[in-house]
Structure 1
Amino acid sequence: MIGIPLGLAYCNFGEWFLHKYVLHGLGKNPKSFWSFHWHEHHQKSRRNQMVDDQYTHPRWRQTARTREMLGLAAVVVGHLPLLPWAPFFTATVWYSTVRYYFVHRRAHLDSEWARVHLPWHYDHHMGRDQNANWCVTHPLFDLLLGTRKEFVGAQPPARLAKEQAAVPSPVDSGTMHSLAS
């Protein structure tokens, strides 16, 4: 049974680590498989007040959503060999991976829900610094590692609108690589 809390902590750290070093680290290179995250997902989210319409496209279309699902499927399959020795841990990793997908999807289809229920993830996309707030489902490792920065998600809606008007788009401010590169 110790596998359940260990699996939850492991998955939260995994969100933090993979988001920071793979999706942003490797993903800023336009030629990387992971570039979809920074060049598509962040761009759409920033331009559409957190909404990413790729979550409404069919799964078989080659989109950021498809690549996200492939990465998550690799996590599930990669932990399969642990099942006989750590069944609770493995089941928790699988549960957390599926939960991650549905929570992340909802956050990018319903921005008001995300602002209220996942302010750390809302802040990741809509705050001034998109290189902070790496966790999606829970901010545990952002808090432990000092990468949780409160921006717009924790603010009341009236102040939120004023903040968003003052924050430039990452594409407009030149912080994102050109897709033509």
Structure 2
Amino acid sequence: MIGIPLGLLYSNWGEWFLHKYVLHGLGKNPKSFWAFHWHEHHQKSRRNEMVDTQYTAPIWNWSPQSKELLGLAAIVVGHLPLFPVAPFFTATVWFCTARYYHIHRKAHLDPNWAKEHLPWHYDHHMGKDQNSNWCVTHPLFDLLLGTRKEFVGVQPRAPEVQGEPVPLREARSEHDRPSAPAA
């Protein structure tokens, strides 16, 4: 049974490590297989206030979503040999891998849900420093390794009121707010 908490810790560390060193490290090279993360997923998320519509496309399209699923499938298959000797650990890693995809997809289709339930991941995409907040499902290793930076609800260069940053919705001027549709 010790495999369950070990699998949870290992999976969260894996999110942190793979996101930082593979998806961003290797992924910033436009010729890398992993370039989809930085050059497509981050671009769409940043331009659309966290929404990445590629998560609505069929998974058999060769897109960032299908590439992400392929990488996650490799994690599942790569841990298969461990199952006979560490079944609880392996099953936990598989569970965390499936949960990761479900949560990551939901975060990019429902930004308000992401702000409330995954502010660290929202901060990763929408904060001023996209090279921080590496964890997706839980910020444990970002907290342990000092890479958690909070930005949710704060406009980085917003005016200050009594030394406190103004929340994003208050920092926008009237012309920045969406207008009501004409009747």
Q: Bin the TM-score by the shorter chain.
A: 0.7 to 0.9
Point out which structure has higher relative CO (alpha carbons under 8 A, 6+ apart). 1
Is residue 133–residue 148 contact of structure 2 (8 Å, CA) maintained in 1?
Answer: yes
- Aligned counterpart, 2:87: 87
Go from structure 1 to structure 2 and tell me whether the alpha carbon gap of 1:153 and 1:77 turns closer, same or farther (over 3 Å shift). Answer: farther
Amino acid at match of 1:138: H
Does residue 169 of structure 2 align to residue 161 of structure 1? yes
Amino acid at match of 1:161: R
Q: Secondary structure at the match of 1:107?
A: helix
For residues 117-169 of structure 1, give each alpha carbon's deviation from its aligned partner in whole angstroms, at most 9, with x where no partner exists.
000000000000000000000000000000000012589xx81336789xxxx
Give the percent of matched residue pairs that are identical in Structure 1 and Structure 2.
76
Name the residue aligned to 2:72.
72
* Partner residue, 2:126: 126
**Number of aligned pairs?**
163
**Letter of the 1:135 counterpart:** C
Partner of 2:103: 103
User: Normalising by structure 1, what TM-score?
Assistant: 0.87
Question: 1:5 maps to which residue?
Answer: 5
CA distance, structure 2, for counterparts of residue 108 and residue 30 of structure 1 = 22
Report the CA distance shift for 1:50/1:73 in structure 2 as closer, same or farther (over 3 A): same
Shift of the 154–103 alpha-carbon distance from structure 1 to 2, 3 Å rule, reads farther
Structure 2 counterpart SS, 1:79: helix
Listed as ranges, the matches of 1:128-147 within 5 Å are: 128-147=128-147
Q: Is the CA contact (8 Å cut-off) linking 1:115 and 1:154 kept in structure 2? A: no
Instruction: Indicate conservation of the 8 Å contact 1:119/1:153, yes or no.
Output: no
Query: How big is the alpha-carbon RMSD for the aligned residues of Structure 1 and Structure 2?
Result: 1.7
Helix, strand or coil at the partner of 1:150: coil
Secondary structure, in 3 states, of the residue corresponding to 2:116? helix
Question: What is the TM-score normalised by the length of structure 2?
Answer: 0.86
**CA distance change for structure 1 residues 60 and 162 in 2, over 3 Å: closer, same or farther?**
farther
- Tell me, in whole angstroms, the C-alpha distance in 2 between the residues paired with 1:35 and 1:152: 26
Rg: which structure is higher? 2
